Amino acid sequence: MNVYSASDIGLKRSSNQDYCLTGQFPDGTVWAIVCDGMGGANGGSTASRVAAENISESLCSGYREDMTPEELRNLMMLSVEYANRAVYDISLHVPGLEGMGTTVVLAVVRKGRAHIVHAGDSRAYICSEEGVRQITTDHSIVQQLVEIGEITPEQARQHPHRNMITRALGTEPNLRTDYNTVEFEDGARLIMCTDGMSNYLTDDELLEFIRSNKCEELTQKLIEHSKQRGGSDNITVAVISD
């Protein structure tokens, strides 16, 4: 298993409030965390960094090679819960960081399955022989509008409220996350990203990039594409492959 990641400030932001960490356990299991902070330059960058670092610490200290899928799920959920409390506590006690928060996507790929925990509108996609499928569902205002049929997914990418999320790590003492697991077959790739990428890329375009680029090149190619389309936000991409 391999994992690659890259992050870019984009073309219009003065700071990068995204944060990404990746790693691999001795048994070959790989993991990645992608966060997109909010709450001003200092607040957003602090929230995403603290969240990713806390999740990484909890995940790495609690992981065992003989874990059942249920135990792994619980570890991932608890790791995100601990990070939520850490960010929330800082926001209560540090002047200038009030109300900060971050999206989060945590992925662990192990024994032919991808396990995903997320909150917010940063995404995870799985690419296999069947094509590209979005695993996560955005926790956002525009996603709610899509689900009730008021706007299309294409309109959602340009909607003026597309950055308004309905769940974020660190903004409340408790966080409700979603957990998903999918088969990770031979040749599959897991793509994780912030909305600085997903706002500029259709599923068909993502599939074309995946098919025409090696994994180690894919992160930079996707970032370059997002910047060519406008690059109005920070852009972070992580790729897990077999």
**Tens place of pLDDT per residue across the chain (242 aa):** 899 999 999 999 999 999 999 999 999 999 999 999 998 778 999 999 999 999 999 999 999 999 999 999 999 999 999 999 999 999 999 999 999 999 999 999 999 999 999 999 999 999 987 889 999 999 988 777 766 777 777 666 666 666 779 999 999 999 999 999 999 988 899 999 999 999 998 888 999 998 888 888 999 999 999 999 998 899 999 999 98
In a domain, 23, yes or no: yes
pTM: 0.93
Q: Look at residue 155 in the predicted model and tell me its pLDDT.
A: 65
**Rounded (to 5) percent helix, strand, coil in the chain:** 35, 30, 35
In a domain, 148, yes or no: no
**Local structure of 108: helix, strand or coil:** strand
In a domain, 153, yes or no: no
Neighbouring CB atoms inside 10 A of 68's CB total: 9
Task: Classify residue 19 by its DSSP letter.
Answer: E
Strand partners, 237: 6, 193
How far apart are the C-alpha atoms of 167 and 157, rounded to whole Å? 19
In a domain, 210, yes or no: yes
In a domain, 158, yes or no: no
In a domain, 38, yes or no: yes
In a domain, 150, yes or no: no
Query: For the chain, what is the domain count?
Result: 1
- The CATH number of whichever domain residue 115 belongs to comes to 3.60.40.10
In a domain, 159, yes or no: no
